[in-house]
Structure 1
């Protein structure tokens, strides 16, 4: 890859921009120290941290509180651990790892859903000098076995009995892992498996006989040490192990914390998989600020969690916001749909004014007050009624959806990054977010646009490389330290970054026309009847779409048509349902070019599923897998056998 910056491209620098890995973190901190952008009337400077163990020490000593980390109990109450209790558990577990021979630089697996024990285990691993190797809880035994073999992990922490069974099968295939610690009771006795409570007891006893070892090991961690080995989702082949150092992650946490107003009195809701670096980094920001964090194991109970825990901040992927909007649409009764359409259009106008730095005039302000009383306030109540702002990342967020939420008083700050960049490269922030962009570069981060439109980035956030894959590292990071993201984008005159698509996902039709599928898919997903969409058309004569309907909206339509007793497949193929979806596709794509129009579509009887390897952990489409799973349907669409699904000529 060509090094440096190509002629005629834009470069965005924000704050101090050192070459990757060569500047001490303190110099980055000295260049920041800005008032928090959301503004709460106080000056706040982000503490300088060089390692994640610095962050841990700061969190436990600077923000003591009785309610630090919580989770929902089955009886409806909330359980809490204090910072003192967390400190005891982290220290005990870290010492237990020492007692089992874990050494600085070793890789320790963390295979669990989002729960408070994940946080304790992560910090315990880091304090022992080892690297945390998080594994997504949805992976199969064979996928885990590949990671175990490639990483040579020595020990694992696993959550539920189901995950334990999967992991033990992976261990049988891969070997090497000597000890497994189970968060939940493992049930049948196994000399390899130890309950977490026993590990804590062992760690406390080890500390009594080895005084000072915990602090000495924790304090010996340096910025250049490996903090985490994260295996990417493998959308184009076997997953690669991304090496993130303490410097990588600590610099990103510090930079994010300098532009977001996370506070010690916040109550954060954490529900995305912590194995993904997006939620993990945001949670680190919560800890750095001293916020209380409530953990939710999955998205199934999210709607209830919003009203139960009433968060002030959270992070989510676009799919969460899309589902929220779909449920809002579904709940609007027929006699109020006109009111909702008016309020939606008004929200977009209000958002546009805010982006332009202008306030509404008297008449528009009156309309806003009325819409807030009748519509917007109810939407905010669905999210607990206390939300100050939320972050979005992992995939593109529709500009219209971001604008609607902003106009309704829900401040979604979209950002952009990769696992390889620890992860945040750019983000929107207050007081000047711009829906439809991913904001400006973080402090200490450089962004450049190459001649072919690819987004490049450089700074302390750029990974140390791929585990045992030097050639792939060189393919990703050029000789001048620029990481080539594989995404296509542009920078405007104010430094706001827009991301168009994945470089490798650009479709080239049989006529030689280039088509970016993501904008089309995002436009389709904004339609009430469409939950998910995958655009197909590479080396094909025209575009087709695989469409997963919003099944709640579908039930409403088939009920009106009197089709509720039909089998699902017949409902989906009914001419009235087909016509309704065809109309939505035509509406969604009317502003796209002729060669970007969808000619045929197929309504799927299920959504794309991460458990079937069709989605990444952040719910992005795995196109290669989808092409394989729906090969027959796709061929039928191109063979003309699906005549009822034809759009236009």
Structure 2
């Protein structure tokens, strides 16, 4: 199905709705054309989009797609330094924003950089370091995922999708907006703050719950931490909204969380995806479901395992990273997996040290640790936060008192994006390097060993501040 098909089939039905206005399916094609005309007249060849969720965001995205001009969504939670890196790295010549419910277009004087041929979108992750990588995707790669999802979700009766995640998140952009539109559903686009978001890694659950009752969606995409919070409100006796389908991913999801959510009437289904594969790779659905797995692969993906159990994906993979050679062949994900006899994908762990918090933000612990270790008096620092709502650190700084350490942390946190900040810290009683098996001979922390050794300490931190 195409957008024009739904415009003919249901011209009076709502296609896009935000806090200011709605667009019917009959109005949608002309609205896209009007924005495309503005882009042809006023924009350059590489367009950055920095805006909250709204109908304007979607129209700008679809207009750029129609014109085949690369669009670069800018995450709202990026620091100024990260935004400057994105603009420079992608050679942005046009910035689109939304002000007073109007789309604004501004030309920039930034030198062009080389892009992979066919690039329609460059998605920047939250960044494993302070300088996020750009993933270059074609239009076909994005739409292939959306078509596969629309096919798998057909029959669920999804008529209203609520965009709970920022549209600059590729998962919401493709699996949310594109998929919903291909199914002829209405896309609800309230501002993120009205959904309870506080930065990129904080949430007011009561405000979210109120918004869900107000918008009454059939489907949404969420993250483990948010799903857990919703399940907890149900467990306390709060009435939860009725939905048809909740996709949960972006970070590791436990089987117990899925069971808790479903026990409260939340139809939660785990999926797995990567920006390098245009978001969703596999997904559970009511008709194909195995709790504890990340679902079966979408039809366009070809999955294999290396001898070490690393997931290798062939087929719908990126054009390449921005500024690096083109990608060809299989994509090695860095994830250790197993595939059961029924074809369900089970994520076992990660080959890399990258932390993915429970809000789906990813970062390299070495980045934050290097900031900590640069402070006078801090001798050892190891960061944790995998599948957690915030980061904590084990810090050995025998020459500093607690007030001095807090002052260091305040300065560091002030220049980090919110998902990379250290909320809590604790001191080991003695140097971790002096404890057997916690550091390698060349001075690198053995993260798993340290996590096991300090398991009770780490658990107590999260138990008292969650």
Normalising by structure 2, what TM-score?
Answer: 0.72
- CA 1:225 to 1:61, structure 2 compared with 1: closer, same or farther past 3 Å? farther
2:34 aligned with 1:100, yes or no?
A: no
2:83 aligned to 139, 144, 150, which one? Answer: 144
Task: Kindly indicate whether the alpha-carbon contact (under 8 Å) linking 1:156 and 1:177 is maintained by their aligned counterparts in 2.
Answer: no
- CA 1:235 to 1:546, structure 2 compared with 1: closer, same or farther past 3 Å? closer
Name the residue aligned to 1:176.
110
1:90 aligned to 22, 32, 48, which one? Answer: 32
| Deviation sequence 1:6-55 (CA, Å, 0-9, x none) | xxxxxxxxxxxxxxxxxxxxxxxxxxxxxxxxxxxxxxxxx4xxxxxxx4
Name the residue aligned to 1:419.
275
2:227 aligned with 1:293, yes or no?
A: no
Name the residue aligned to 2:341.
493
SS of 1:505's partner is coil
- CA 1:139 to 1:160, structure 2 compared with 1: closer, same or farther past 3 Å? farther
Matches within 5 A, 1:266-415: 266-282=159-175, 283-298=177-192, 299-300=195-196, 301-329=207-235, 331-332=236-237, 381-383=239-241, 385=242, 387-415=243-271
In structure 2, the gaps of 5 or more residues are 197-206, 360-364, 370-378, 391-408, 433-453, 461-466
2:137 aligned to 244, 257, 262, which one? Answer: 244
CA distance in structure 2 between the aligned counterparts of 1:177 and 1:89, rounded to whole angstroms: 31
Task: Kindly indicate whether the alpha-carbon contact (under 8 Å) linking 1:231 and 1:240 is maintained by their aligned counterparts in 2.
Answer: yes
Query: Offset at 1:610?
Result: 12
The two structures, once aligned, show a CA RMSD in angstroms of: 4.2
1:469 aligned to 308, 324, 327, which one? Answer: 324
CA distance in structure 1 between the aligned counterparts of 2:160 and 2:386, rounded to whole angstroms: 37
Query: Offset at 1:147?
Result: 1.2
- CA 1:637 to 1:497, structure 2 compared with 1: closer, same or farther past 3 Å? farther
Which has more radius of gyration?
A: 1
Name the residue aligned to 1:447.
303
SS of 1:84's partner is coil
Task: Kindly indicate whether the alpha-carbon contact (under 8 Å) linking 1:263 and 1:291 is maintained by their aligned counterparts in 2.
Answer: no
| Deviation sequence 1:196-230 (CA, Å, 0-9, x none) | xxxxxxxxxxxxxxxxxxxxxxxxxxxx8322111
| Deviation sequence 1:501-544 (CA, Å, 0-9, x none) | 221128xxxxxxxxxx88xx98xx9xxxxxxxx9x99xx99x99
SS of 1:484's partner is strand
SS of 2:334's partner is strand
CA distance in structure 2 between the aligned counterparts of 1:635 and 1:80, rounded to whole angstroms: 54
Task: Kindly indicate whether the alpha-carbon contact (under 8 Å) linking 1:262 and 1:285 is maintained by their aligned counterparts in 2.
Answer: no
1:127 aligned to 66, 78, 90, which one? Answer: 66
CA distance in structure 1 between the aligned counterparts of 2:333 and 2:42, rounded to whole angstroms: 39
Normalising by structure 1, what TM-score?
Answer: 0.53
2:148 aligned with 1:255, yes or no?
A: yes
Task: Kindly indicate whether the alpha-carbon contact (under 8 Å) linking 2:281 and 2:301 is maintained by their aligned counterparts in 1.
Answer: yes
2:11 aligned with 1:64, yes or no?
A: yes
Name the residue aligned to 1:483.
331
- Higher RCO, Cα 8 Å, sep 6+: 1
1:112 aligned to 51, 55, 73, which one? Answer: 51
Identify the structure with the greater strand proportion. 2
Query: Offset at 1:489?
Result: 1.4
Identify the structure with the greater helix proportion. 1
Task: Kindly indicate whether the alpha-carbon contact (under 8 Å) linking 1:271 and 1:297 is maintained by their aligned counterparts in 2.
Answer: no
Task: Kindly indicate whether the alpha-carbon contact (under 8 Å) linking 1:139 and 1:611 is maintained by their aligned counterparts in 2.
Answer: no
